[in-house]
Amino acid sequence: MADIKTVGIIGAGQMGGGIAHVCALGGYDVLLNDVDREKIDASLALIGRNMARQVSRGIVDQADMTAALARIKPAASLKAIGGADLAIEAATEDEEVKKQIFAALRPHLSPDTLLASNTSSISITRLASSTDRPERFIGLHFMNPVPLMNLVEIIRGIATDAATYERAVSFARSLGKTTANAEDFPAFIVNRVLVPMINEAIYTLYEGVGTVEAIDTAMKLGANHPMGPLELGDFIGLDTVLSIMNVLHDGLADSKYRPCPLLVKYVEAGWLGRKAGRGFYDYRGEHPVPTR
């Protein structure tokens, strides 16, 4: 297979922007697509600010930042993405949305384009089966925030061939990431362990065992976690936490993965965490304040 030189990224949100950031610094030409052009512009601005912060901390040279930013180009349509050597879907954690993206991308793909999804929980085999190239489809699950987190989970679907896997591993490692192979089961490794812990913390709040502040303080100081589970849920996005719990509950048919009713209620209210201004904390003031 040809070397990867151009990376197309579909979805200019938190994850897509982060992936574009590390790919550009890694020397790849990047095409960034989103259905909302304003999101692309906002993502490019955020990437610039985040790289500037890296420069101020001596992590990245100014010249490298300038060159990296020049490598990222907005892609107004999926047609532009089709010519990339690697196309990474980084849209919302919704299986039907992801399948619709791959269906729309299909007519524009070059014969050798490698397809990847940044899904954090959904079956790679199912997503791959909705494309014309399941053997060249793989899961590349970057961790959030992408520029800071060193891990990429690599997930093969049942049809993924060996050459695609090797190419994906080499690509991730070229970005300075460490890879971990995960089998194609619901939520893979990280979120299979992490998200039920967040859900259990929400149950702990729901049942009145502790307050938001007490639960997060207990886990930070009692388990040496850098961030409390409720704060972490807000950071990830409570809609994403709920989506992953639903994937686990539906895929494994085990009641221990039942989403906490309080989590469902927060999502119904639109209190999705940091991105919405409110979740288990209210972020609209100078300092976050617990909402319960």
- Mean local confidence (pLDDT), 271-283: 97
What is the tens place of the pLDDT at every residue in 39-76? 999 999 999 999 999 999 999 999 999 999 999 999 98
Please state the CATH superfamily assignment of the domain spanning residues 191-290 in this structure.
Answer: N-(1-d-carboxylethyl)-l-norvaline Dehydrogenase; domain 2 (1.10.1040.10)
CATH class held by domain 6-182: alpha beta
The 10 Å Cβ neighbour count of residue 245 is: 24
Model confidence at 2, pLDDT cuts 50, 70, 90, reads low
Catalytic residue annotation: 120, 141, 153, 191
The 10 Å Cβ neighbour count of residue 223 is: 10
The 10 Å Cβ neighbour count of residue 262 is: 16
pTM of the model: 0.89
- Mean local confidence (pLDDT), 214-241: 96
Q: Where are the domains of the chain?
A: 6-182, 191-290
SS3 content of the chain, % helix, strand, coil (to 5): 50, 15, 35
CA pair distance 276, 284, nearest whole angstrom: 9
Which residues fall within 8 angstroms of residue 269, CB to CB, at 6 or more apart? none
The answer to whether 226 and 190 have CB atoms below 8 angstroms apart is no
> What 3-state class would DSSP assign to 77?
coil
Q: Which residue has the tokens 């990431």?
A: 177
- Mean local confidence (pLDDT), 200-225: 98
Q: Which of 80, 59, 79 is CA-nearest to residue 68?
A: 59
The 10 Å Cβ neighbour count of residue 258 is: 13
* Whole-Å CA distances, 286 to 156, 215, 227, 277: 44, 22, 19, 12
Q: What's the mean per-residue pLDDT of the chain?
A: 95
- Mean local confidence (pLDDT), 154-167: 96
| Residue 215, pLDDT score | 98
